[in-house]
A and B are shown apart, each in its own frame.
Chain A
Amino acid sequence: MSRFFATGSDSESEESSSADEITPKAPGTTFTKQSLLLSDDEEDTKRVVRSAKDKRFEELTNLIKTIRNAMKIRDMSKCLEEFEQLCRAFLKSKTIVDKEGVPPFYIRILADLEDYLNQLWEDKEGKKKMNKNNAKALSTLRQKIRKYNRDYETEIASYKENPMASADEEEEKDEVESGSSSDSDDEPADAKSFLKKKSATEAPPPNASKFLKGAADEESSSSDGDNEDWDSDTSESDSGSEDETGRSTSMAVNFLKKTSSEGDRHTSEKKKEERKKRHKRKERIEEEAEEEAQEEGEGEWEKVKGGVPLVKMFAKGTEINTTVVVKKLNEILQARGKKGTDRAAQIELLHALANISNENNLGEGILVKIKFNIIASLYDYNPNLAAFMKADMWKKCLDCIDELLDILFNNDKIFIGENIAEDSENLASDSQEYRVRGCILTLVERMDEEFTKIMQNTDPHSQEYVDNLKDEGRVCGIIDRLMAYLEMETKGSTEEVCRVYLRRIMHTYYKFDYKAHRRALGLQGETKSEQDAEESEGEDSAFIMDRLCKYIYAKDRTDRIRTCAILCHIYHHALHSRWYQARDLMLMSHLQDNIQHADPPVQILYNRTMVQLGICAFRQGMIKDAHNALLDIQSSGRAKELLGQGLLMRNMQERNAEQEKIEKRRQVPFHMHINLELLECVYLVSAMLLEIPYMAAHEFDARRRMISKQFHHQLRVGERQPLLGPPESMREHVVAASKAMKMGDWRTCHSFIINEKMNSKVWDLFPETQCVREMLVRKIQEESLRTYLFTYSSVYDSISMETLKEMFELELPTVHSIISKMIINEELMASLDQPTQTVVMHRTEPTSLQNMALQLAEKLGGLVENNERVFDLKQGVYGGYFNRDQKGGYQQKQGGYNRDQRGSYQQKQGGYNRDGQRGGYQQKQGGYNRDGGGYQRQGGYNRDGGGYQQRQGGYNRDGNRGGGGGYQGQNRGGYQGGGGYQGGGGYQGGGGYQGGGGYQGGGGGGYRGGYKGGYQNQDRRDY
């Protein structure tokens, strides 16, 4: 059987494909045959052994058949291949062979093959005609078979003596094979004859045992893994072929026919076993039924279709009662998941059974039970997890669930539950409560998943998607009904209620509640459309969300449901612009801390929530919050992937097909997507509003950090453009606007951000477009004002606020407040002159040249430090380790030199800082600095980080000194102890000492630590 996989390429020959068709059918057909034969219990006991053997043997015979075919057409390479498979298969069935002896047909093929090969070998001319591959295969095969046959010499000899005896047995097999092959021909006549033949050949027991292939499959599947895969494949191909026109009808008929008759016989057999002792009369009836079935099988095909065979499910005159129906149900269910079971037919059968039970008024209990199983088998219909339900199946499924819910609602005496054991079910008696095993919640959840799957697999831009989406109403309706059902007392546990609530939430959270929105806006919405107002009588989604989520928060015990509920709740809040609630909930939940431990779907939900939160913040004008919320998603550049809205192409090499499938399953359906362009635009605009004033304020700051890398990236891309045309895309618009803002030109900026193009692309997507636009204009004005002041304050001696007001079209108080804020934050060195309403610049900002000089000074500081390190290293290595005694004096001298240099440098630095003139506060600092060298350094650090390096230097020096001091005698150590203090902190000195504690060169140890720190520091600064 594994041959199928070995040769499973496109270039399969026709022959092999026909063989494929045969094999799957075979078990089905034998099934029918067998059912007639099993008449006593003895047979049952033998089942397992025989089936295993037969399964093996059939495998072998199949292989042998293909070999023979190949021999006929002289396909040597095929022969070789098959022969190798045969050997392997034979080896597999060794246990059976040991028990039963080598099967004669096997010997026969070996002998025949050898003869045939020898014959070919002798035929020189024929050999010449062969193509290269074949010739090669021939020689290898010949060698192989020679070797192989050595083991079976005696058997082969005996076979050659008496070929007939063995051939007889073989005949049988061939017959069966021809039977099964004719089955695949799709011709009704053939099928008929086949059926006949079956009944004719029912007598010989060896054939009978064949049947069990299907039944025994489960047992043998453990030993032969291939088979299962094989099964699913065939069934798929079956269902596929059903769709074919022309053939399809006859095929389907064929199929139905078989199953029905199968059902018949199966039933009858069962009953026979069951009631054998009771009555002979019954047996006769049953035989009649059998005959009838047979007749039908041979006769008109029309009858088979529809309900006709299904009525036959029960023998004529059988009293149809609950137990019988349950038996029947179990029978049908036993075939579930087995090879060769036709799932579509099974569903039909179950439906029929439901009808029967309805007709016979067997009560609700049994109906519920059957419904459960119908739904389950509907879900089973697709064996593949990735495949989605077909539309008709889906409709059927929805109908079924609806009906089931109807029953449950109408009859509150029915109890359902997963925990009700099969034998404690009560389906029959009306007097007591029905107890049925099964979980409606699971079914509904599964339905919901199927719905998601259908949506995932539909092209979002097609009409089909819209049609499918219309089903969402039904899905929601079902969930609502289920919710109502479970909410009833004693119907559902809190856990179940939580689960169904979550389902409800999942269908609610991403929908914008337009009705509530309109209501909130006021009356004008109602006057517009009266009927709409009536429609919107229903609860606001906000209330629903609130109620459901709070229930889950209170009652849920699994963390996952609560997490999801929180996220959905936040999302819903954010979607409806309830920013503070959303933010508080997010902060209170502490989800940011541990979301990385959650499973991917929850993480996707989290990302979606964060994005929605960011967009909400943006709408509310909280630019900074918006930026922070969106930063994580946007900075990675994989927003699409993180939000589960598509796969990135570049990952193709990194993941295999399996992973891709999993990822595809995680995708959010299209109707729940968040617009990525909107997201990016919101992010970029927020970044622009933050970054441009920041850039203007820190134009000369060497340590300036980027707020948003992505924004800078966009700017750079914009700069690289050789030719600057009018902006086209959203990004270009933002870049152009940023450039305008950099110049303080808010009008241009405004026109770039808010215009027709951007409106249609982005802004119109917000529910409150006008508010957002107004907010944006205002923000642009304010930030432009700030930028303007940062950039051009050095040009002005003073500037009237009136002018500013006019320039930026802001109200005077706003201008006043912005400027005041800047002054307080020490961003702007100016003061306000109240009577004249002017801003008087203090002109204390360093000019660009001064800035440059400061930068240079800083860099030189770094250089000096680095240089010192070179020297320290020398000191450490040579002085500390090799000949520290001799070098002591030199070192001391050097130390002095270093200190001097450092001191002067520091003073210089101090001077700069004092010149830095950042207002009175710093002046005071400067004064403080002047107190002493050691503190000065510390002060430098405090002020602007420039001194950090110095502190680092101190650290470094301490380390050295610690090491050096430790080895070079006490007197020196003491002297340097002072230095250590100057360096700024006992702790650092300690660190250095620790580093130098080892024997291996104190300087080295201390140096290492210092160096590392220094390097990192520098690195950060450059960044």
Chain B
Amino acid sequence: MASRATLDSPVKQIQIEGLVVLKMIKHYQEEGQGTEVVQGVLLGLVVEDRLEITNCFPFPQHTEDDADFDEVQYQMEMMRSLRHVNIDHLHVGWYQSTYYGSFVSRALLDSQFSYQHAIEESVVLIYDPIKTAQGSLSLKAYRLTPKLMEICKEKDFSAEGLKKAMIGFEHMFEEVPIVIKNSHLINVLMWELEEKSTVADKHELLNLSSSNHLEKSLQLLMDRVDDMSQDIVKYNTYSRNLSKQQQQKHQYTQRRQQENAQRQTRGEPPLPEEDISKMFKPPQPPPRMDTLLIAGQINNYCQNVKEFTSQNLGKLFLAEALQGHNS
């Protein structure tokens, strides 16, 4: 592991067992609903530049009543038990469900950072149950970029720090391609099942899946935009204050210089230097990380919407062509 830690990008590809996917879906079905989010631990191994996720287990939902519940303890217990039954027990990340793709948040950033800080190859799997329910499995793996890792390590979220690191919302997360792999036996089983299945083809391929989805996305997007506006206003205020103070400082020093010059001509000793920084306390700069996250989230929503609309447009064209063909 230590040798791997030095690699630039320890994980180039992720290979997920079908079991893991099913377990995640099941977890959400059973426990998550609406905006609630479910989370769990991923287990697996790193093989060359490929991360193989072979198993997972959910974090238990715990209410506020049992506050003394020890999550770490639970995880350790769980992993030990898994080890006993000879399952991969190496912690390689975590998964989380999402509501209309709204997952870019401070909490996610923080926990992913701590994961990645402790275990280099950690990933976070984002599972979108709503999109999945529409027919296409939506599962994405993300890692923090090395740049972001650095910033998080230094905890420098000021505007200057971010500028120095040359980080934008595009460079915060990197997506890692996913491959779902099943064992041959399962594949065989699948074939067999498909042969036997009597279920009629009810593929709703041309379903535009209503505008509900789009509306929801827009709603969320709007909320984010509002947040963004607020942040910008905050930042504006800050910079205005800053510039005002800069001017004051400037004036002060100038006055001081003039006075000193006068004193010199009169042969008096110059006034003692005072600590300017003490006199002018710079205003608290607003943390920029949140803005960045919001931007990332907005970007995410946009991607979603784009994807959704392009699919729908495709379907529309398809339908049109079919209609034309029929008539």
Chain B, residue nearest A1008 (CB)? B240
* B232 and A848 form a contact (CB under 8 A): no
Chain B, residue nearest A868 (CB)? B232
**Contact among B211, B219, B229, B232 for A847, CB-based, below 8 A:** B211
* B215 and A870 form a contact (CB under 8 A): no
**With the chains together, A870 CA to B228 CA distance in Å?**
13
Chain B, residue nearest A878 (CB)? B243
Chain B residues within an 8 Å CB radius of A869: 232, 236
* A852 and B225 form a contact (CB under 8 A): no
* A852 and B232 form a contact (CB under 8 A): no
Chain A residues within an 8 Å CB radius of B246: 877
Nearest Cβ in chain A — how far from B300, in angstroms? 15
* B226 and A866 form a contact (CB under 8 A): no
B218 within 8 Å of A by Cβ? Answer: yes
A386 within 8 Å of B by Cβ? Answer: no
Chain A residues within an 8 Å CB radius of B243: 873, 877, 1001, 1004
Query: Which of A852, A860, A1008 has the largest count of B CB atoms less than 10 A from its CB?
Result: A852
Chain B residues within an 8 Å CB radius of A1004: 240, 243
**Contact among B219, B222, B225, B236 for A870, CB-based, below 8 A:** B236
Can you give 20 contacting A-B residue pairs, CB < 8 Å?
A848-B215, A849-B211, A849-B214, A849-B218, A852-B215, A852-B218, A852-B219, A855-B222, A856-B225, A862-B229, A863-B225, A866-B236, A869-B232, A870-B239, A874-B239, A877-B239, A877-B243, A877-B246, A1001-B243, A1008-B240
**With the chains together, A881 CA to B244 CA distance in Å?**
12
**With the chains together, A949 CA to B247 CA distance in Å?**
30
Nearest Cβ in chain A — how far from B115, in angstroms? 33
A928 within 8 Å of B by Cβ? Answer: no
* B236 and A859 form a contact (CB under 8 A): no
**Contact among B211, B218, B232 for A863, CB-based, below 8 A:** B232
Q: Which residues in chain A, 968-1023, are within 8 Å of chain B measured between CB atoms?
A: 1000-1001, 1004, 1007-1008, 1011, 1015, 1018
* A863 and B228 form a contact (CB under 8 A): yes
Chain A residues within an 8 Å CB radius of B221: 856
Chain B residues within an 8 Å CB radius of A860: 225
**Contact among B214, B215, B226 for A859, CB-based, below 8 A:** B226
**With the chains together, A453 CA to B219 CA distance in Å?**
61
Q: Interface residues of A: mostly helix, strand, loop or mixed? A: helix
The residues of B with any CB-CB pair to A shorter than 8 Å are: 211, 214-215, 218-219, 221-222, 225-226, 228-229, 232-233, 235-236, 239-240, 243, 246-247
* A866-B229 contact, Cβ under 8 Å, with A852-B222, A873-B239, A1011-B236: yes
Nearest Cβ in chain A — how far from B242, in angstroms? 9
Chain B, residue nearest A855 (CB)? B222
Nearest Cβ in chain A — how far from B251, in angstroms? 9
Chain A residues within an 8 Å CB radius of B225: 856, 859-860, 863
**With the chains together, A1008 CA to B243 CA distance in Å?**
12
What does the 1/0 interface line of A862-902 toward B look like (CB < 8 Å)?
11001101100110010001000000000000000000000
A102 within 8 Å of B by Cβ? Answer: no
* A873 and B236 form a contact (CB under 8 A): yes
**With the chains together, A1000 CA to B245 CA distance in Å?**
12
Nearest Cβ in chain B — how far from A949, in angstroms? 11
**With the chains together, A867 CA to B234 CA distance in Å?**
11
* B247 and A1000 form a contact (CB under 8 A): yes
Nearest Cβ in chain A — how far from B101, in angstroms? 16
A853 within 8 Å of B by Cβ? Answer: yes
**With the chains together, A873 CA to B226 CA distance in Å?**
21
**Contact among B215, B222, B233 for A866, CB-based, below 8 A:** B233
Nearest Cβ in chain A — how far from B280, in angstroms? 16
Q: Which residues in chain A, 34-74, are within 8 Å of chain B measured between CB atoms?
A: none
Nearest Cβ in chain A — how far from B152, in angstroms? 25
Chain A, residue nearest B225 (CB)? A859
* B222 and A873 form a contact (CB under 8 A): no
**With the chains together, A1011 CA to B239 CA distance in Å?**
13
Chain A residues within an 8 Å CB radius of B235: 870
Chain A, residue nearest B251 (CB)? A1000
Ranked nearest first, the 10 interchain pairs of A and B with the lowest CB-CB distance are A866-B232, A852-B218, A877-B243, A849-B211, A859-B225, A863-B229, A856-B222, A873-B239, A849-B215, A866-B229
The residues of A with any CB-CB pair to B shorter than 8 Å are: 847-849, 852-853, 855-856, 859-860, 862-863, 866-867, 869-870, 873-874, 877, 881, 1000-1001, 1004, 1007-1008, 1011, 1015, 1018
Chain A residues within an 8 Å CB radius of B240: 873, 1004, 1007-1008, 1011
* B233 and A859 form a contact (CB under 8 A): no
Chain B, residue nearest A853 (CB)? B218
Chain A, residue nearest B218 (CB)? A852
Chain B, residue nearest A850 (CB)? B211
Chain A residues within an 8 Å CB radius of B233: 866, 1015
Chain A residues within an 8 Å CB radius of B232: 863, 866-867, 869-870
Chain B residues within an 8 Å CB radius of A874: 239
Chain A residues within an 8 Å CB radius of B222: 852, 855-856, 859
Query: Which of A847, A862, A1007 has the largest count of B CB atoms less than 10 A from its CB?
Result: A862
Chain B residues within an 8 Å CB radius of A863: 225, 228-229, 232
Chain A, residue nearest B217 (CB)? A852
**With the chains together, A1011 CA to B233 CA distance in Å?**
9
Chain A, residue nearest B212 (CB)? A849
**With the chains together, A648 CA to B163 CA distance in Å?**
57
**With the chains together, A1008 CA to B232 CA distance in Å?**
15
Chain B, residue nearest A1022 (CB)? B226
Chain B, residue nearest A1004 (CB)? B243
| Inter-chain pairs besides A852-B219, A856-B222, A866-B233, 5 sampled, C-beta below 8 Å | A863-B225, A867-B232, A881-B247, A1001-B247, A1015-B233
Chain B residues within an 8 Å CB radius of A1018: 229
**With the chains together, A860 CA to B298 CA distance in Å?**
11
Nearest Cβ in chain B — how far from A536, in angstroms? 66
**With the chains together, A59 CA to B324 CA distance in Å?**
119
Nearest Cβ in chain A — how far from B232, in angstroms? 4
Chain A residues within an 8 Å CB radius of B218: 849, 852-853, 856
**With the chains together, A188 CA to B239 CA distance in Å?**
92
Chain A residues within an 8 Å CB radius of B228: 863
**With the chains together, A874 CA to B236 CA distance in Å?**
10
Nearest Cβ in chain B — how far from A995, in angstroms? 13
Chain B residues within an 8 Å CB radius of A848: 211, 215
Nearest Cβ in chain B — how far from A1017, in angstroms? 12
Chain A residues within an 8 Å CB radius of B219: 852
Nearest Cβ in chain B — how far from A276, in angstroms? 92
Nearest Cβ in chain A — how far from B299, in angstroms? 14
**With the chains together, A848 CA to B214 CA distance in Å?**
11
**With the chains together, A881 CA to B243 CA distance in Å?**
10
Nearest Cβ in chain A — how far from B218, in angstroms? 4
**With the chains together, A848 CA to B210 CA distance in Å?**
12
Query: Which of B215, B226, B232 has the largest count of A CB atoms less than 10 A from its CB?
Result: B232
**With the chains together, A870 CA to B240 CA distance in Å?**
9
Nearest Cβ in chain A — how far from B211, in angstroms? 5
**With the chains together, A883 CA to B232 CA distance in Å?**
25
**With the chains together, A231 CA to B243 CA distance in Å?**
70
Chain A residues within an 8 Å CB radius of B229: 859, 862-863, 866, 1018
Chain B residues within an 8 Å CB radius of A1011: 236, 240
Chain B residues within an 8 Å CB radius of A859: 222, 225-226, 229
Chain B residues within an 8 Å CB radius of A862: 229
Chain B residues within an 8 Å CB radius of A867: 232
Nearest Cβ in chain A — how far from B185, in angstroms? 47
Chain B residues within an 8 Å CB radius of A873: 236, 239-240, 243
**With the chains together, A423 CA to B26 CA distance in Å?**
109
Chain B residues within an 8 Å CB radius of A1001: 243, 247
Chain A residues within an 8 Å CB radius of B247: 881, 1000-1001
**With the chains together, A917 CA to B274 CA distance in Å?**
66
**With the chains together, A1004 CA to B247 CA distance in Å?**
11
Nearest Cβ in chain A — how far from B295, in angstroms? 11
Nearest Cβ in chain B — how far from A942, in angstroms? 24
Nearest Cβ in chain A — how far from B220, in angstroms? 11
**With the chains together, A1008 CA to B247 CA distance in Å?**
15
**With the chains together, A1011 CA to B229 CA distance in Å?**
13
